[in-house]
Structure 1
Amino acid sequence: AGATKLLKEDEFGSSASPASMSSSPTQEAGEITADVPADIKVIMGTLQQILSTIEEIKKTNQDFIQRLNDLEHRTGTLKDRVTTTEDQISALQAKVAALSLHVDNQENRARRNNLRFLRFPEMVEKGKPIKFLQKILPELLQLPEGTQIEMEQAHRPLAPCPAEGQRPRPLIVKFLWFPLRKLILQKARELGSLMWQGHKILIFPDLSRELQKKRKKFLDVKKKLREYGLKYGLFYPATLRISVDGEDFSFTSPIEARAFLAKW
């Protein structure tokens, strides 16, 4: 019995004291058990905050996505409207251009019998421009004897009377008959320079401002044609016709006419 008791004591370890066997492991376990719940609470609280933040982010993202979808829908609708509006604007611009051309054509047709006489001194007609022109035009233009110069009206523009030394206002005349207007213009071209009491008189068709701009674009081309000694004519509304070796070439664009002269 004594040997058995000694063996059991050796199995448990004779070196450990009773005090250390009863206190040290229990204290460590108690400390761990006491610390774990507090740490878990902190972690759980942090996780809960993270989850809450994630939920808020999800809601915010959903709101952003909804807004983006709305914006995409509105952008698509606006794009369709812009496309439709652009098509309508293009159609309206084309219509306005066509109407402007039509109005300009009607304006020039209304002036078909008109001529402009430039460089007659101011007040020389003494308030009676028709009688003044009927008196001087037959001699100035060397018209056939017995030519009746019938006019519907004649006047100067309503602009203020220019001061002395400034260019006088033109006399605008509407003839009663187109053949008479054509004859006067033809005679003026044949004679070239028209002199009246020391004044060089110029005669031009009375055209709209828009048509005058189109015809003025051919000025440099006409100058070149005169230098080359080529026959040409500027026909209504703004068509330049050039005669070369018995062949006629017509141009409605000064660029095309310049290109033609460059090759000639």
Structure 2
Amino acid sequence: MVKTGKDKLKDTHHTPKKHKNQHEVDRFFNKKHSTLSFAGSNPSAYEEDTEMSEDGDSDRESSTAQTTTYEDSDACHISRAFLKKCLAQALSPVLKELSDIKMDVKHIGNRVDELENVHAALLSHSTVTQQAVVSQQEHLNAAFLQLEDQEKRNRRKNIRLRGIPESVTPEALKAAAVSIFTDLLGVERASQVVIERIHRALRPKPAPGEPPRNVVCGLLSFVDTAALLQKARDSQGIYYDKCITTNVKSCFSKMSQQARRILKPLTDILRDRHIPYRWLYPFGLSVMINGKPLMVRQPADLQKIWTVLQVNPLDIPSWLPVHLPTSFPELPPSDGWSLQTKVKSPRRTPT
């Protein structure tokens, strides 16, 4: 009865007779046992020990192993053409995506260039429009001031009488005016004053208890008007019918009255400090401060007055007929844009 390999392994220590190659068998099993003891923790060690055991075999086994190794290397041989083909297949979708991305970036760059050009054109157009509007505003204001000056020249010979009761009829207005002129200039000088027309101010009749309407007198000569105004400023009071106080004022246009009303806070400060000033034609204000004349024609000229007077600037609106409600917004700068450039990668030198 022939025992199998397993029976031999079991009965090895019971067999007193040893084979002539028993030392090689013992060495094989010893290495096999030591390899299996730590193969679970380091599988590569098992392979190394196996190779070392195989190196101790016969030449025939060595030649057979070499033949097998040569056959395996031939089966796993990878050519350069095969690598190129695999890389080309793997990189083909990536290159396609990169090409699409490149086209998208180029398209976005073109759109950005167009947007920058349109933005620059809009900024240029807005700047030109703003300058044109400011220039037109200045020209319109100059034209309105000239028209206002012509209207004031037509009114320069007129005077306004305030305080004449509404009970005085239109036919008696001329006699009332002559009585006031006589009180101011005297009988002889008042007799030389020629009244061309006289009437009430063109507005509805006031209700009882309200101030009466002004009486407008159109004189023939401006000299008479200037004399009456000078006497009215120097007199302590003007009376009509010996009990009613009246005032003699210049006849201004509506625009001049509104502008003077707007500049009243400034004129009040000048009066309090006893600083002389006078009105200009076309409309303006001339102020003499420390022997230096300052003229106010536009709202921007007020800053000089506040600086010289050393007072906090007052909130005085514009009195010009044409003015913008708000200033133009500040436009962003259009310079500093760079053109699209192509960035070249550095040249690679072979290693």
TM score, norm. by length of structure 1 = 0.69
Between stretches 129-138 and 21-30, larger displacement belongs to 21-30
CA deviations over 1:180-207 (Å, ceiling 9, x no partner): 2122212212323112353321111111
Give the whole-Å Cα distance in 2 for the aligned partners of 1:52 and 1:219: 82
| Deviation at residue 57 of structure 1 after TM alignment | 0.7
In structure 2, relative to structure 1, the CA distance for the partners of 1:178 and 1:224 (3 Å cut) is same
1:144 aligns with 2:187: yes
- On the 8 A contact 2:158/2:251 being kept in 1, the answer is yes
**Which residue of structure 2 lines up, in the alignment, with residue 219 of structure 1?**
268
| Deviation at residue 56 of structure 1 after TM alignment | 0.8
**Which residue of structure 1 lines up, in the alignment, with residue 100 of structure 2?**
56
Ranges in structure 2 where 5+ consecutive residues have no aligned partner: 1-55, 297-301, 312-351
The CA RMSD measured in Å over matched residues stands at 4.1
Ranges in structure 1 where 5+ consecutive residues have no aligned partner: 1-9
Whichever of the two has the greater Rg, that structure is: 2
Give the length in aligned residue pairs: 239
- On the 8 A contact 2:180/2:240 being kept in 1, the answer is no
**Which residue of structure 2 lines up, in the alignment, with residue 165 of structure 1?**
209
TM score, norm. by length of structure 2 = 0.54
SS in 1 for 2:61: coil
SS in 1 for 2:278: strand
In structure 2, relative to structure 1, the CA distance for the partners of 1:256 and 1:47 (3 Å cut) is closer
In structure 2, relative to structure 1, the CA distance for the partners of 1:38 and 1:55 (3 Å cut) is same
CA deviations over 1:237-263 (Å, ceiling 9, x no partner): 455677x9xxx875545875995799x
Give the whole-Å Cα distance in 2 for the aligned partners of 1:129 and 1:25: 144
Could you tell me which amino acid in structure 2 is paired with residue 64 of structure 1?
I
In structure 2, relative to structure 1, the CA distance for the partners of 1:63 and 1:261 (3 Å cut) is closer
| Deviation at residue 25 of structure 1 after TM alignment | 7.3
The percentage of aligned residue pairs carrying the same residue is 20
**Which residue of structure 2 lines up, in the alignment, with residue 199 of structure 1?**
244
SS in 2 for 1:128: helix
**Which residue of structure 1 lines up, in the alignment, with residue 61 of structure 2?**
15
**Which residue of structure 2 lines up, in the alignment, with residue 72 of structure 1?**
116
**Which residue of structure 2 lines up, in the alignment, with residue 4 of structure 1?**
none
| Deviation at residue 126 of structure 1 after TM alignment | 1.4
Between stretches 179-188 and 130-139, larger displacement belongs to 130-139
Could you tell me which amino acid in structure 2 is paired with residue 207 of structure 1?
F
In structure 2, relative to structure 1, the CA distance for the partners of 1:39 and 1:156 (3 Å cut) is farther
Matches within 5 A, 1:87-98: 87-98=131-142
SS in 1 for 2:187: coil
Give the whole-Å Cα distance in 1 for the aligned partners of 2:187 and 2:167: 25
**Which residue of structure 2 lines up, in the alignment, with residue 177 of structure 1?**
221
Give the whole-Å Cα distance in 1 for the aligned partners of 2:240 and 2:119: 72
CA deviations over 1:113-150 (Å, ceiling 9, x no partner): 011222222x2331336424344324442533361443
SS in 1 for 2:245: strand
| Deviation at residue 70 of structure 1 after TM alignment | 1.5
| Deviation at residue 43 of structure 1 after TM alignment | 5.9
- On the 8 A contact 1:134/1:149 being kept in 2, the answer is no
Give the whole-Å Cα distance in 1 for the aligned partners of 2:170 and 2:269: 38
**Which residue of structure 2 lines up, in the alignment, with residue 7 of structure 1?**
none
- On the 8 A contact 1:143/1:187 being kept in 2, the answer is no
